[in-house]
Each structure stands twice: as C-alpha cells, then as structure tokens.
Amino acid sequence: MHQIAQHFVTLRPFVQEEGRATFDGLTLDTGPLDMVQAVLEGVALRIGEVVVAMNRSVPLGDEISTDGGLSQNPYICQFLADVVKRRKKVADHPELTAIGCAQMAGNGLGDLVP
C-alpha cells in the first residue's frame, strides 16, 4: 500500500470493499487536507486496479491518459501515473470521455443522425 499523507491516513473502502467508509490513521495532527488527499489517492488506487485488470486482457501502452474533473488536479494525475507505473498524459480538452461517448452513440444510431 502507498503511504498516504505524512500521517498515513487511509480511506477504508479501498482497503475493505464490504466495510463502511472510515478513515484510519487519524491523529490530532490530521487535517482536512490529509483526508481529501486520502480520498483522492483511494480513487487513484482503484483506477490503478482497473488499469492492471485491463492490461491483462489487452496490453496497454506506456502512458496513462486522463481527462475529466480529476485531470485538473496535477497531484492526482501524477499519483495515478506512479501507481500504474506509466507516464502521465493529461488531455488538452477536459471532457474527452464525454465526447467519445457521444461519438459512439452517434455511430450506433447510424443514418438516424444527420
């Protein structure tokens, strides 16, 4: 497990899926930013699990491409890249996933879309 903040705060759902959301490792020195960092790192660790599973089925390249809200946070992008051991590539357009989904839906509709 990665060290989370200097206080080793972890968000429990990442560690134990069936558990309730709890923070472990809190001390009197733990602040709100430590808790936010633990949540963001938990998200990155979960994404990392998905990337590893995908890589078992289809070999992925040496970059991890991000877009959307989390891509606006340089720390989480770098943490995710470190977790999956790939170079980070942050999309120029923040919502490429939404655009891709819309394009796929349009392709699925075929001739129904002008």
Please name the helix (run of DSSP H) or strand (run of DSSP E) that holds residue 64, with its range, or none. Answer: strand 63-66
Go through the domains of the chain in sequence order and give each one's CATH number. 10-112 (3.30.420.40)
Per-residue pLDDT of the chain (114 residues; tens, 9 = 90+): 444 444 456 665 555 566 667 788 888 998 999 888 888 888 888 889 899 999 999 988 999 988 888 888 999 999 999 999 999 999 888 788 888 888 888 888 876 555
Q: What is the pLDDT of residue 19?
A: 63
Residue 67's φ and ψ, nearest 5 degrees, are -150, 180
Amino acid, res. 97:
T
